């Protein structure tokens, strides 16, 4: 019974973190922009670049670029949602109130991840719908491998977010820049149109219908 | 049993010893003040009481239990407000109180929030974002947040800093009322000597990380052969 009560109390504390982020989102147009506007701008830029390149007969460019943009958003936003929620507490000088409360660090992270996940689902759904309507690109055409691939991106993003929180706690404000920059360090620097032997081999491990968008036809050659 | 028992705690930050073997107690319903010049170790001591900083030596006991034991249960029985800590400015007064009521595991959240809004005269401000409130109004919200779980121990770090004398006096009256009516224990730091004289049953003077004098305001004035606490402060601060 006490374990049950403890877990109910724990759920209430996680709910408090989610509520806090929800109220903040509702009251700030800037935060709503983060969910829809910037991902949409990125999608439109890369969408029209893809259409332009496809007109020049560059192969598989829609799948490569739009799939890449959508999946990149999953990694980038899952990382930034965790680190930004934490930084909001730092910037509003609310951190001591949070950590002097019965909230455990684990509950704090679960609350941030839960709310960030809900925002990410909403944002990705809107972007995927727009990609389909404007460019005829269906995210699910990437096949069933999309599910574990997205899951790994999410976990990776959360891990980077938690790492960012740790670094900011340890080194203070001067380390905040990594909240934006860290996930970019994991972007592929080598374009797939000039693939290395190892990346070509990696792409070939996927069944043809399930290959991630980053494995363009250029990788297969 | 003491509400708070600080036993010989020491905290070092690199080569600097911020707190050096400090001990004191807070009993039920007692209002205890920590006084001292800047850098005396008051805030570090409070942060050790709140579990924000781990002592290098000694221990902090809350309600007879070690703080490094069931931290969650113990922190649920105290609360904290400080002049240098803010609440999320984008949230309204009511939203802030609702969030913290959930954080502290309050059962009847709407009921408790309504009581606090009435108690601290915040009803008219309930739908206003915190960033649009004056310093005095924000301090009242901080106090409402600090009372959300009806704590057995209230830890206040310079609660009236940055307030004008009028608002500061109202906040002091409010805190005094709370201490008298509810019998709630309080641990307070302040640089306002009149505030400490008026509110505290017992005062611990700190200097260079140590407690150098303990007693009520009149006892301390007698011991140092001066008229008031401000003169005691100057004696302690100037060695």
Structure ipTM: 0.86
Q: In the 8-state DSSP scheme, what is residue B209? A: T
Encode chain B (239 residues) as per-residue pLDDT tens digits: 789 999 999 999 999 999 999 999 999 989 999 998 888 999 999 999 999 999 999 999 999 999 888 888 999 999 999 988 899 999 999 999 999 999 999 999 999 999 999 988 899 999 999 999 998 899 899 999 999 999 999 999 988 877 778 878 888 888 888 777 777 899 999 888 888 888 899 999 999 899 999 999 999 999 888 888 888 888 887 77
Phi, then psi, of B33 in degrees rounded to 5:
-110, 140
Interface contact flag, A102 B102, Cβ < 8 Å:
no
A219 falls within a domain: no
**What pLDDT score was predicted for residue A201?**
60
Domain B25-40+85-237: give its CATH code: 3.40.50.300
A211 falls within a domain: no
| Tokens coding B116 | 């606090």
**What pLDDT score was predicted for residue B4?**
95
A55 falls within a domain: yes
Report residue A211's pLDDT band, with 50, 70 and 90 as the boundaries: low
- Terminal alpha carbon distance of chain A: 62
- A63-104, pLDDT tens digit by residue? 777 788 888 888 888 888 888 889 888 888 898 999 999 999
Report residue A217's pLDDT band, with 50, 70 and 90 as the boundaries: very low
Interface contact flag, A102 B76, Cβ < 8 Å:
yes
Q: Which chain B residues are within 8 Å of A92, Cβ to Cβ?
A: 86-90
Could you give the CA distance from residue A113 to residue A120 in angstroms, rounded to a whole number? 10
Interface contact flag, B89 A101, Cβ < 8 Å:
no
A209 falls within a domain: no
Q: Which chain B residues are within 8 Å of A16, Cβ to Cβ?
A: 99-100, 102-103
A206 falls within a domain: no
CB-side neighbour CA atoms (13 Å) of A50: 23
Phi, then psi, of A213 in degrees rounded to 5:
-60, -25
**What pLDDT score was predicted for residue A220?**
45
Report residue A194's pLDDT band, with 50, 70 and 90 as the boundaries: very low
Q: Is the pLDDT of residue A219 over 50?
A: no
Is some CB atom of chain B closer than 8 A to the CB atom of A26?
no
- What percent of chain A clears pLDDT 70, i.e. is strictly above it? 78
Could you give the CA distance from residue A100 to residue A83 in angstroms, rounded to a whole number? 20
Interface contact flag, B88 A20, Cβ < 8 Å:
yes
Q: Which chain A residues are within 8 Å of B80, Cβ to Cβ?
A: 96-97, 100
Could you give the CA distance from residue B69 to residue A2 in angstroms, rounded to a whole number? 17
Find the mean pLDDT for residues A172-180.
Answer: 76
Q: Is the pLDDT of residue A216 over 60?
A: no
Residues of B with CB under 8 A from a CB of A: 50-52, 71-73, 75-76, 79-80, 82, 84-92, 95, 98-100, 102-105, 129, 145, 155
Nearest Cα of chain B lies from the Cα of A27 at a distance, in angstroms, of 7
Number of domains in chain A: 1
Which chain A residue is nearest to residue B101, measuring alpha carbons?
A: A16
SS3 B146: helix
pTM of the shown model? 0.82
Nearest Cα of chain B lies from the Cα of A29 at a distance, in angstroms, of 11
- A102-113, pLDDT tens digit by residue? 999 999 999 999
Find the mean pLDDT for residues A151-164.
Answer: 91
Decide: A110 and A18 in contact? Cβ < 8 Å: no
| Tokens coding A13 | 């504390």
Residue that is written with structure tokens 């820049």 in the block: A177
- What percent of chain A clears pLDDT 90, i.e. is strictly above it? 21
Decide: B84 and B157 in contact? Cβ < 8 Å: yes
Report residue A6's pLDDT band, with 50, 70 and 90 as the boundaries: low
H-assigned helices in chain B: 42-49, 71-75, 93-103, 109-119, 135-146, 165-182, 193-199, 217-224, 229-237
Q: Which chain B residues are within 8 Å of A102, Cβ to Cβ?
A: 71-73, 75-76, 103-105
Report residue A59's pLDDT band, with 50, 70 and 90 as the boundaries: low
A216 falls within a domain: no
Is some CB atom of chain B closer than 8 A to the CB atom of A102?
yes
Nearest Cα of chain A lies from the Cα of B218 at a distance, in angstroms, of 33
Find the mean pLDDT for residues A133-156.
Answer: 84
State the DSSP H helix or E strand holding residue A15, giving kind and residue range, or none if neither.
helix A2-27
**What pLDDT score was predicted for residue A192?**
45
A95 falls within a domain: yes
* Residue range of the domain that includes A53: 2-190
């Amino acid at each position: 019974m006490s374990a049950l009560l403890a877990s109910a109390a724990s759920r209430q504390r996680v709910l408090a973190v989610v509520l806090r982020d929800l109220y903040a989102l509702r009251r700030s147009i800037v935060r709503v922009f983060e969910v829809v506007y910037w991902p949409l701008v990125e999608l439109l830029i890369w969408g029209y670049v893809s259409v332009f390149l496809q007109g020049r007969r560059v192969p598989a460019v829609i799948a490569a670029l739009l799939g890449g943009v959508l999946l990149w958003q999953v990694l980038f936003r899952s990382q930034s949602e965790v680190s930004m929620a934490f930084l909001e507490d730092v910037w509003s000088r609310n951190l001591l109130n949070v950590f002097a409360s019965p909230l455990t660090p684990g509950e704090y992270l679960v609350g941030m991840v839960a709310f960030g996940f809900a925002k990410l689902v909403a944002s990705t759904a809107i972007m995927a719908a727009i990609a389909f309507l404007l460019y005829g690109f269906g995210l699910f055409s990437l096949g069933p491998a999309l599910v574990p691939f997205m899951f790994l991106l999410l976990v990776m993003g959360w891990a980077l977010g938690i790492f960012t929180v740790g670094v900011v706690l340890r080194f203070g404000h001067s380390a905040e820049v990594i909240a934006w920059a860290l996930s970019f360090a994991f972007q592929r620097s080598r374009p797939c149109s000039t693939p290395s032997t190892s990346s070509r081999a990696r792409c070939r491990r996927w069944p043809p219908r399930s290959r991630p968008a980053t494995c363009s036809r250029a990788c297969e050659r | 049993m003491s509400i708070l028992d600080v036993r010989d705690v020491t905290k070092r930050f690199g080569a600097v010893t911020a707190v050096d073997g400090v001990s004191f107690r807070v009993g039920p319903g007692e209002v205890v003040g920590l006084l001292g010049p800047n850098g005396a170790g008051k805030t570090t001591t409070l942060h050790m009481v709140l579990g924000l900083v781990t002592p290098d030596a000694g221990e902090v006991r809350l309600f007879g239990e070690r703080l490094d034991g069931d931290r969650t249960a113990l922190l649920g029985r105290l609360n904290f407000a400080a002049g240098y800590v803010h609440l999320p400015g984008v949230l309204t007064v009511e939203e802030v109180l609702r969030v913290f009521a959930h954080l502290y595991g309050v059962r009847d959240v709407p009921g408790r929030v309504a009581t606090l809004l009435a108690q601290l005269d915040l009803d008219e401000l309930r739908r206003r974002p915190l960033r649009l409130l004056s310093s005095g109004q924000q301090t009242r919200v901080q106090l409402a947040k600090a009372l959300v779980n009806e704590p057995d121990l209230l830890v206040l770090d310079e609660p009236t800093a940055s307030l004008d004398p009028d608002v500061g006096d109202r906040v002091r009256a409010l805190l005094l009322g709370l201490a008298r009516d509810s019998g709630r224990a309080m641990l307070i730091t302040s640089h306002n000597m009149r505030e400490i004289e008026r509110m505290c049953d017992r005062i611990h003077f700190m200097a260079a990380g140590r407690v150098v004098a303990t007693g009520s305001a009149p006892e301390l004035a007698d011991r140092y052969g001066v008229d008031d606490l401000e003169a005691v402060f100057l004696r302690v601060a100037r060695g």
